[in-house]
Amino acid sequence: MTKGETMDQSNISRRNFLKKLGGTTLATAAVLTGCSKEEEKKTQGVNPQDVPTGKMTYRKDAHGEDVSILAFGCMRLPTTMGVSGREDSKNEIDQEEVNRMVDYAIEHGVNLFDTSPAYCQGRSEKAVGIALSRHKRSEYKVSTKLSNFGVYTREASMEMYHNSFKELQVDYIDYYLLHAVGGGEDAMQLLADRYLNNGMLEFLLEERKAGRIKNLGFSYHGDIRVYDYLLSRHEEINWDFVLIQHNYVDWSHAKKINPGNTNSEYLYGELEKRGIKAFVMEPLLGGNLAKLNNHATELLKKQDPEASIASWAFRFAGTQPNILSVISGMTYIEHLQDNIKTYSPLVPINEEEAKLLSEIADIYANYPTVPCNTCQYCMPCPYGLDIPTIFTHYNKCLNEGLVIEERGNEQYKEARTAFLVGYDRKVPKLRQADHCIGCGKCLEACPQRINIPKEMQRIDQFVELLKRDGADLGNAARLAILMRKLDEGNHSCVIGKGEEVHAYSKRGVMDLYELAEKQEEFTKDALLADKIIGKGAAALAIQCGISHLRTHVICTPAKKLLEENGVKVTFEKEVEFIENRAKTDWCPLEKRLKDCQTVNECMPVIRQFIQDLKDGKI
């Protein structure tokens, strides 16, 4: 599709995207793997001769202007060290390389460049302005933002606004946004402080009337009340566009992955019914959807052997007809070339392909990685933690732990050592997760609304698990998945073995008792996640043949019984005994088992207890 054409002929509607296929898929292999800089370039590299010119897909904005479906995101511009300026503050932006990439983009039909005063640690706008000023103003459109984080005064905000014109070397801005609304502990109050009480929204509306802003919108992360409030004022404000986080995982799973987020199906739908155009951010979910595991990669390559893994995510992000442009932060020319190829022209995702992406999304959504995109807004931590690097390394550990399953495998040993040793190398000891005091300073800054202190506690527990003698990296990661399923559902316990996972919901130890009595083959050498483990549950787990167990609370006698029978145990809290539901006395079963020392002694007592329950004697 070329200039002036629309997407009305698309053979797939919004409702068809990522249909639920019934049930949740849990995989034994990781969805993601870590990549080095060179590997990352190779994952998206294409032959330059295969990159077409004159075939870019365009969409019409609110004023009928043609906008390339691919927008050049300038939040990860390269430094002289060849890495992203988002993370690299020690080296200058490589202006020569930025110029080359901008020239290449314009030559191949990209006409929208997105930046912010905050990007590349304050250096993006200037670099973008230098590169674009070498071209006719009619050849490009620029998008930037009022990134007034921390200082909300009218004076500081006005200074930032006017400085953007100076840095970008323009006399009008095509697309201007209120930046990252919806964040903070009190998101509605923060919105008021940043844009309403200081009169900045009224000022920007006047600037749009004067023609210095062509299109006014906002970028959204987090509290849905802010999103709904701003859209409720659409008739008054007449938003020209809105920037949302949108990809094939976030379409149906954003809230499951991070309760502070909202599924993009809802975000897109609210814009569509109001006729507001959508910009897309995070089409690759922080780069994660460009690096899938072997199984997922094989599925996609079977569908289209020549397409890159990233191109699937970009095709999905652009398929809906109300999407105006998809912003991709690009550090390397290889990324730019691959993205241009994908959108020259865009081939919309069809229903069969949507189902395939749905399967991959389901796997991702049930994988307990931290949804961090390394934006660096949480930094610096007042207590010195390197938050993004901790999250990145933790996610990589989980992924590698699930890929390598056999304990005797040489690669498995290397993976486990890579985490424990690599953690110390990548993150100095004084900057690791165990030094988090839970001050919460980072919470307001995180646009993904990650509960960073809670995640730090979880990661610290994971690290301690791996440091224990005999710790199993693969099973630690598997147990993390089972615990997440246990905590998110109304389950009494969850058992996993290989690709098979079963969740149980009967009261107390009834499910474990029935499994133990049936001597199911499934439970032998399986993994168990349970909320509370007393001596009765411990005896039943041993009788079932459970090999690894993880729980929130365990009593000392249960722990002793499990360890004596070779069951590996991970727990958060150890108590002397398990209380009854009213917390007035011992749990009835625990009281009966108080003097039992072995599984053989426990089982007759448990059988009689279950019978008494069925007979209504308890």
Query: For position 12, what pLDDT does the model report?
Result: 34
Q: Taking the domain 490-618, which CATH number applies?
A: 3.40.140.30
Query: For position 396, what pLDDT does the model report?
Result: 75
Q: What average pLDDT score do residues 592-603 get?
A: 96
Q: What are 143's strand-pairing partners?
A: 114, 175
Note if the bond before 428 is cis, omega within 30 degrees: no
Which has the minimum average pLDDT: 273-282, 309-318, 494-503? 494-503
CA angle 369, 375, 381 (to 5 degrees): 90
Query: For position 422, what pLDDT does the model report?
Result: 82
Per-residue pLDDT tens digits for 250-264:
999 998 888 888 999
Extract long-range pairs of 563-570: CB within 8 Å, 24+ residues apart.
565/599, 567/538, 567/541, 567/542, 568/470, 568/472, 568/475, 569/533, 570/465, 570/476, 570/479
CA distance 383 to 453: 12
Q: DSSP letters of 8-61?
A: TT-S--GGGTT---SS----SS-SB----HHHHHHHH---GGGS-SS---EEE-
Give percent of the chain with pLDDT exceeding 70. 87
Q: What average pLDDT score do residues 284-307 get?
A: 84
Query: For position 423, what pLDDT does the model report?
Result: 86
Tally the C-alpha atoms within 13 A of residue 432's C-alpha that lie toward its C-beta. Answer: 22
Q: What average pLDDT score do residues 192-211 get?
A: 98
Query: For position 7, what pLDDT does the model report?
Result: 34
Per-residue pLDDT tens digits for 421-461:
888 888 998 999 999 999 999 988 888 888 899 889 888 87
Q: Where are the alpha helices (DSSP H) in 378-439?
A: 387-403, 410-426
Measured CA distances, 407 to 30, 143, 470, 474 (Å): 17, 51, 10, 8
Confidence bin at 9 (pLDDT 50/70/90): very low
Q: Which two tokens stand for residue 280?
A: 């897309």
Q: Which of 283, 344, 286 is closest to 312 using CA atoms?
A: 283
Measured CA distances, 390 to 346, 372, 398, 445, 468 (Å): 37, 10, 12, 17, 20
Q: If you average pLDDT over every residue of the chain, what do you get?
A: 87
Q: What average pLDDT score do residues 355-360 get?
A: 92
Please determine, for residue 216, whether its predicted confidence score (pLDDT) is greater than 80.
yes
Q: Where are the alpha helices (DSSP H) in 233-284?
A: 234-237, 250-257, 264-274
Per-residue pLDDT tens digits for 17-28:
333 222 222 232
CA distance 223 to 88: 30
CA distance 420 to 423: 5
Q: Which of 516, 514, 557 is closest to 535 using CA atoms?
A: 557
Please determine, for residue 300, whether its predicted confidence score (pLDDT) is greater than 70.
yes
Per-residue pLDDT tens digits for 148-200:
998 999 999 999 999 999 999 999 999 999 999 998 889 999 999 999 999 99
CA distance 579 to 78: 58
Amino acid at 88: D
Q: What average pLDDT score do residues 194-218 get?
A: 98
Range of 19-23, 40-44, 233-237, 440-444 with top mean pLDDT: 233-237
Listed in sequence order, the residues at least 6 apart from 2 whose beta carbon sits closer than 8 Å to its beta carbon are 54, 55, 56, 57, 58, 345
Per-residue pLDDT tens digits for 415-431:
667 777 888 888 998 99
Please determine, for residue 330, whether its predicted confidence score (pLDDT) is greater than 90.
yes
Query: For position 45, what pLDDT does the model report?
Result: 55
Listed in sequence order, the residues at least 6 apart from 110 whose beta carbon sits closer than 8 Å to its beta carbon are 56, 68, 70, 71, 72, 340
Note if the bond before 388 is cis, omega within 30 degrees: no
Q: Where are the alpha helices (DSSP H) in 275-367?
A: 294-303, 309-319, 333-342, 351-365
CA distance 603 to 112: 70
Query: For position 489, what pLDDT does the model report?
Result: 80
CB atoms under 10 Å from CB of 314, counted, come to 27
Please determine, for residue 369, whether its predicted confidence score (pLDDT) is greater than 80.
no
Show me where the domains of the chain are located.
14-20+60-362, 368-488, 490-618
**Can you give the pTM of this predicted structure?**
0.70
CB atoms under 10 Å from CB of 351, counted, come to 12
CA distance 492 to 509: 8
CA distance 99 to 110: 14
Please determine, for residue 243, whether its predicted confidence score (pLDDT) is greater than 60.
yes
Higher pLDDT, 174 or 222: 174
Q: What is the third-level CATH fold of 14-20+60-362?
A: TIM Barrel (3.20.20)
Confidence bin at 410 (pLDDT 50/70/90): low
Higher pLDDT, 169 or 87: 169
Query: For position 259, what pLDDT does the model report?
Result: 81
Query: For position 5, what pLDDT does the model report?
Result: 37
Please determine, for residue 10, whether its predicted confidence score (pLDDT) is greater than 50.
no
Please determine, for residue 270, whether its predicted confidence score (pLDDT) is greater than 60.
yes
